[in-house]
Structure 1
Amino acid sequence: MMETKINLTEQNQQALIEIYHLTGKSQQELITSAIEDLIKNYQQKKRLDLMQQAKGIWKDREDIPNLEELRKEFNREWEK
């Protein structure tokens, strides 16, 4: 693990002390956990944003077959 120096406001420092007393987790554990949550949330949002950008990219394409029709054909072959 890499050690990093951070600057906290007096309010943030006091809040961490209060959370420490409630949870028993050290300041390092609290900050590490908060950073992990931030990264996880960012990655999930980034993934959602990419999926939203990709949504409908094929809807107006005429050069690819209609997937619903292909499925119907495929299902008909299995029903025989």
Structure 2
Amino acid sequence: MIRAQIYLTTHERRKLTVLAHETGKSKSELIREAIDQFIETHQAFKQDKLTILRAAKGLWANRDDLPDFKMLRKEFDKRHKDKHE
């Protein structure tokens, strides 16, 4: 393991100490568990976003009821350009 120093607020330190006494775990162990859980949650969230984006790919393809987005974009770009000249 690699030693790392962190700064805690007084409130965080107090709550961590109470939790350590309640669980019988060291403060360091609780911090490592919290970091592991944060990393796992973050990675799962990233994967969920990627899955959703992949599922949405082509969602509007071959639809006749939608406007021509390329034309809308050209009109928007032209108006935006005219405003800033």
Task: Using structure 1 for the length normalisation, give the TM-score.
Answer: 0.70
Deviation at 1:34, TM superposition (A): 0.1
- 2:47 is equivalent to residue 25 of structure 1: no
The C-alpha deviation readout for 1:39-75, integer Å capped at 9, x for no partner, is 00000000000011111314527xxxxxxxxxxxxxx
Q: What percentage of aligned pairs have identical amino acids?
A: 31
Please show how residues 57-68 of structure 1 align to structure 2 within 5 Å: 57-59=57-59, 60=61
| 1:14 counterpart = 2:6 | no
AA at the equivalent of 1:9:
T
Q: Where does structure 1 lack aligned partners over 5 or more consecutive residues? A: 62-80
**1:36 matched to 2:36:** yes
Give the Cα separation in 2 of the matches to 1:36 and 1:49: 20
1:54 alignment partner in structure 2 = 54
Tell me how far apart the structure 2 counterparts of residues 29 and 47 of structure 1 sit (CA, whole Å): 27
Q: Can you give the 5+ residue segments of structure 2 that lack an aligned partner in the other structure?
A: 63-85
Aligned residues: 61
Distance in 2 (alpha carbons) for counterparts of 1:8 and 1:43: 25
Amino acid in the other structure paired with 2:44:
Q
RMSD, aligned α-carbons = 1.3
Amino acid at match of 1:6: I
- The one-letter amino acid paired with 2:35 is I
Alpha-carbon distance in structure 2 between the residues aligned to 1:38 and 1:55: 26
The runs of 4+ residues in structure 1 deviating greater than 4 Å are none
